[in-house]
Structure 1
Amino acid sequence: MAQKAAKTLASRNAAVLKRTHVISAALHLLFLLLHQVFQRPRSLKPYFLLAVPTLLIEFYLDRVGRPRYTDDGSLRSAGEDLNATGLTEYMWDVLYWTQGCIVAVCLFNDRAWWLWAVIPLYSVYLAYTTIMGMKKGFAGIGGGGSEEEDLNATKSKTQLKKEKRGGGKVKYGPSG
């Protein structure tokens, strides 16, 4: 069963990588072709600054996600899951957004490269939400409240209502 899952992951990774490489190559060639044909005052500096680093991301994803086979054709390694959350997901976001920016630059002009500024803003947003989530998670660790508040926080609503009515505590003592 595990071998079937590995084969499924390998075929999915290979298909995703092939599609990504074809789309990326087509977009970069289209940009360079339009740059040569129209000779607009289109500078290649923003292209090299913003688009070429995403090629490094694409090749990194290829390196970690490409399935590896032995000489006899059997699957040696399925590669990492390219649908994983976290950093991999962020790399795909950067890659897709840059491809969208290339399309916008081809359709409009070099000012569309400013759309790429969304990526650092998105990074700041992700960092902020992560820090706030961690802050909420660590809020109960440091104490800060009274001992009675901590005890009440661990009690259920039913227990608190019974104690409020006075019937929540069992008294042990001499009977009789």
Structure 2
Amino acid sequence: MAQKAAKSLAARNASTLTRTHLIALALHTIYLVLHFTFNRPRSLKPYLLLAGPTLVIEFYLERLGRPRYTDDGNLRTPGEDLGATGLTEYMWDVVYWTWGCMASVCLFNDRAWWLWIVVPLYSVWLAYTTFTGMKSGFAGMGGGRSEEPAVAGGESKRQKKLEKRGGQKMQYR
């Protein structure tokens, strides 16, 4: 029962990586077979340009998450959690989206590579929402302007609402 969590993480990572590599191999093989057998008037430039980063990401995830064992078969390191949030999650999104674009290109034509433009647009949107979230977070600390000017009497909105409903009136000493 020693290292049960590490062993389960290692097994989960190994199965995820194996599945990822098999799907990638199948998609790339189908694309290349269709490209060379039907002799389509296409260049391999979009394929290399847009599928190349996915191969780099897969190599990185392989190095990051592959469990390592000692010579006698004991688990040395289970690898990093491939289901982690943050950058790892974003890399999986890029891999899955590229797979979808490759499948679309196989079914339709090279114009389906334009679907890949969603990835940088999504990155820009995430950066924008993060920035605006930080900006509104700093608003309460004097970093941003409040929407209403300060009340002369020092009453907050909550106090005004309570007084309007007939609740307790604040008494200042």
- Partners of 2:109 and 2:98 in 1: how far apart? 15
Q: Is the 8 A contact 1:14 1:67 kept in 2?
A: yes
Opposite residue 6 of structure 2, the aligned amino acid is: A
> Deviation string for 1:34-80 (max 9, x for gaps)?
11100011210000000011100001011101111111111111111
Greater helix fraction, Structure 1 or Structure 2: 1
Q: Which residue of 1 aligns with 2:13?
A: 13
Unaligned runs of 5+ in 2: none
Alignment of 1:131-150 (within 5 A): 131-142=131-142, 144=145, 146=150
Secondary structure of the structure 1 residue equivalent to 2:3:
helix
Alignment partner of 1:85: what SS?
A: coil
Shift of 1:149: 8.9
Q: Where does 1:48-63 land on structure 2 (aligned, <5 Å)? A: 48-63=48-63
- Matched residues in 2 for 1:19 and 1:27: separation? 12
Instruction: Give the alignment of 1:70-89 within 5 angstroms.
Output: 70-89=70-89
State the 1:125 CA deviation.
Answer: 1.0
Match of 1:161 in 2: 162
Q: Please give the secondary structure, in 1, of the residue aligned with 2:35.
A: helix
- Normalised to the residue count of structure 2, the TM-score between the two structures is 0.85
Amino acid aligned to 1:161: L
The answer for the alignment partner of 2:69 in structure 1 is 69
Per-residue deviation, residues 6-43 of structure 1 (Å, max 9, x unmatched): 11111111000000000001100111111110001121
Q: How many residues get paired? A: 168
Q: Quick check: 1:64–1:79 contact (8 Å CA) kept in 2?
A: yes
RMSD (CA atoms): 2.7
- Residue 24 of structure 2 is matched in structure 1 by 24
What is the TM-score when the length of structure 1 is the normalising length? 0.84
Partners of 2:121 and 2:161 lie apart in 1 by 45
5+ residue gaps, structure 1: 172-176
- Residue 149 to residue 79, structure 1, CA distance change in 2 (3 Å): farther
Please say if residues 159 and 168 of structure 1, whose CA atoms lie closer than 8 Å, have aligned partners that are also in contact: no
Which entry has the higher C-alpha Rg, 1 or 2?
1
Distance 1:109 1:167 in 2: 71
